[in-house]
Amino acid sequence: MSTLGATLAGVLPILLLIALGVLLRQLKVLDDHTVEGFKKLVVNVVLPAVLFLAFLGLEFQREYLAVVVLVPGLCLLLLAVGYLVPRLLKAPPVAPFLFTGFEFGMVGLALFTAAYGLEHAPAAAIVGLGHEFFIWFVFVTLLKRQSDGAVSLGETVRSFVTSPVIVAIFAGLLLNLAGLGSFLEENALTGALLAVASHLAAMIVPLILIVVGHGSRLTRDGVRQAAPFVAVRFVVCLALALLASWGAGAWLGLGAPVQAALFMLFILPPPFIVPLFLPARRGGEITFANNVLSLYTLLSIVAFIGHVIAVPVVR
């Protein structure tokens, strides 16, 4: 396939599936209630299936340990910078939590596999591993503390170990390290279960991109409110994306798939869970967070498509 053909093959499905989500909303084929069900299906079933298979088939390299440390380290740096943002941009108190963390599950993995194929999902998974530790042990803990007061260590650990995503990651890792991948494929029962997981994993691209298209609703006032904050975060994160993928990635000798996954991670929107942790009394902040998430998601898609045009194939 030519470079142009490879680029179109990666970009067009993303655009068409997002457009389909918009069309299905306008035709009232999908309503908000149905889409919420899709999101729960993704978080609790489809995304865990993708990550389980990715970590089960991952070929470990020593350099990956550096990635697992690098990603949460940069997330912590963004969080520290984020605490300066409310003062500089007159943003609400939730701003630090919109300045760090990335929507790896509901956006990143779908974009990456849509452009580069499910066979490269392990590269994205290893990049997402350190990020998940940051989200569950630092991000969610601090966000809950700001919203509800003190959060116990037991509650934090319980949320972590009961997350379907985390369970899937560790199950895949442990079975991989035990060398049981081939046995699971050859056994009739577990082979059938792996086949089911593969079918579920194949749903991630169309399901998430249709959901993203369905949810892309921004008013002029919403754009005006979110734009300054989004612009500052995007410039900072784009610099980190280039530094992490082309700088640290090349220095560590990481392959092209992992470098592309690092770039993908750092241009993603903030975690979609932020508004969910804000109490109703902070309605203005919920509106601000939703506007930031909507605008940033569109900007992330444009930036990722630009990256796919520059790097149409990864090997």
CA distance 257 to 223: 33
182 burial class (0-12, 13-18, 19+ CB within 10 angstroms)? exposed
Q: Identify the pLDDT of residue 5.
A: 65
Lowest mean pLDDT among 68-72, 162-166, 297-301: 162-166
Q: Is there a contact between 204 and 109 (Cβ–Cβ < 8 Å)? A: yes
* Structural domains in the chain (count): 1
Q: Identify the pLDDT of residue 7.
A: 63
Residue 315, in any domain of the structure: no
pTM of the model: 0.85
Residue 226 is classified by DSSP as: H
Tens of pLDDT, residues 65-110 = 889 999 999 999 999 999 988 778 888 999 999 999 999 988 898 8
Residue 11, in any domain of the structure: yes
Q: Identify the pLDDT of residue 46.
A: 92
Tens of pLDDT, residues 187-226 = 999 999 999 999 999 998 899 889 888 877 778 888 899 9
Q: Identify the pLDDT of residue 199.
A: 95
Q: Identify the pLDDT of residue 8.
A: 67
Residue 171, in any domain of the structure: yes
Here the CATH number for the domain that contains residue 120 is 1.20.1530.20
Q: Identify the pLDDT of residue 135.
A: 92
- Asked if residue 256 has pLDDT above 90, the reply is no
pLDDT band of 64, cuts 50, 70, 90: confident
Residue 100, in any domain of the structure: yes
3-state secondary structure of 200: helix
What's the average model confidence in pLDDT over 171-190? 92
Q: Which domain holds residue 69?
A: 3-310
